[in-house]
Copies of this chain bind each other. A is one copy, B any other.
Amino acid sequence: MSSKTGSAPTIFDVAEQAGVSIKTVSRVLNRESGVHDKTREKVLKVVATLKYRPKLSARSLAGARSYLIGLLYYDPSAAFVAGVQRGATLRCRELGYHLVVESMHNDAADIDSQVDRVISALRPDGMILTPPLCDNPKVLKMLRDSDTPYVLLSPGRAVKGRPSVVIDDVHAAEEVTNLLISLGHETIAFIQGPPDQAASGLRLEGFQRAMKNHGLKVDADLIQPGDFTFHTGVEAAHRLLSRRVKPTAVFAGNDDMALGVLAAAQRLGLSVPADLSVAGFDDSPAASLVWPALTTVRQPVDLMARVAVDMLVPPPASAAPAEDLGNHRVQPYELVVRDSTSARRSELAGVKVLGSQRYEASGI
């Protein structure tokens, strides 16, 4: 009896009961090739019987891998993190990895030492970064200096040497704009995000491209600045709706600002979408919890996180040589059309109509 009762079984217990060496047990567990089928079966049987599970710390100390993936984030939308984590933890589990999360303030003066501490202690096999950390030079420098592989999720801008997973913001924004145009809108406003986030510029680009492709003019003041918050959406809406010629549709660079537009419109007695169509970007949870529900773009956040994990975890030795998909993976977005957008009610753009509502199409 080599196993003391009470303590968890070790690789020695398995080896003894299976009548092989610990090296062979190790081979089976790591799916290495070159083990006799009979031997493999015998080992697996004992593993199942004893409920043996290799201890991560021992594997990590002895070997070159830690089986840990780190997720560094700072306060992006809760929905974004939640989606990332769902995708990442599930994929990690499939691969025998675990996800360690660390939230840190993007503007902390000692953020590099914070990152260093995490890396040194954990020695993760890879790191996933979300905005805005994925654009933080200090953080990126620490990762490079420590030779820690990393993947950026939706980085502000794609940089050559930095592996990333993104969607095509330009095309997505173009599609949203095309939708509004196809509904008959011509005076369409756009609310931009903060200039330091590349998504802001890309989405604006998509908007402008669609307008141009349809020969629609965009007055300068139809493009309003914002910073991705509800509040700036409200303010931009007020500016837009006090124009002489009011827009009949507003495309906000993200959902929070679109919700601000919605609130402002309702506050002014405008009916959405009859008087004003509103579209956002992100498909945040709130987008479907308001009335009318918001037309928006959904990023496949959990899929993106899965892809990030796959980019960090080396494929099993037994696997077929994977084709090189490159370091910048573009994932498909989805246009989600809901009730906040509709055809123009009339040609009387700018005429305020009170109290009317659209009953027929609403899901509620």
Interface residues of A (CB under 8 A from B): 8, 51, 53-58, 60-61, 66-68, 75, 77-79, 81-83, 85-86, 89-90, 93, 96, 98-103, 114, 116-118, 120-123, 230, 234, 256, 259-260, 262-264, 266-267, 269, 284-286, 288-291, 354-355, 357, 359, 362, 364
- CA of A69 to CA of B331, assembled, Å: 33
Using CB atoms, name the residue of chain B closest to A258: B289
How many whole Å from A323's CB to the nearest CB in chain B?
Answer: 30
| B364 contacts A267, C-beta separation under 8 Å | yes
Chain B residues lying within 8 Å of A120, measured Cβ to Cβ, are 8, 51, 53, 55
**Chain B residues positioned under 8 Å from A256 (CB to CB):** 289
* Docked-complex contact B51 and A55, CB < 8 angstroms: no
Is the Cβ of A290 less than 8 Å from the Cβ of B121?
Answer: no
Pair B262/A291 contact, Cβ less than 8 Å: yes
A53 cross-chain contacts in B, Cβ below 8 A:
116-117, 120-121
- What 5 A-B pairs have minimum CB-CB distances, sorted nearest first? A263-B291, A53-B120, A355-B355, A286-B286, A78-B82
A6 to chain B: closest CB distance in Å?
10
Given contacts A89-B103, A99-B100, A266-B291, 20 further A-B contacts (CB under 8 A): A8-B120, A53-B120, A57-B66, A61-B61, A78-B82, A79-B285, A81-B81, A85-B101, A98-B121, A100-B101, A230-B288, A256-B289, A259-B290, A260-B289, A262-B291, A266-B266, A267-B359, A269-B357, A286-B289, A355-B355
> A85: which B residues are within 8 A, CB to CB?
81, 101, 103
Contact A57 B51 (CB under 8 A): no
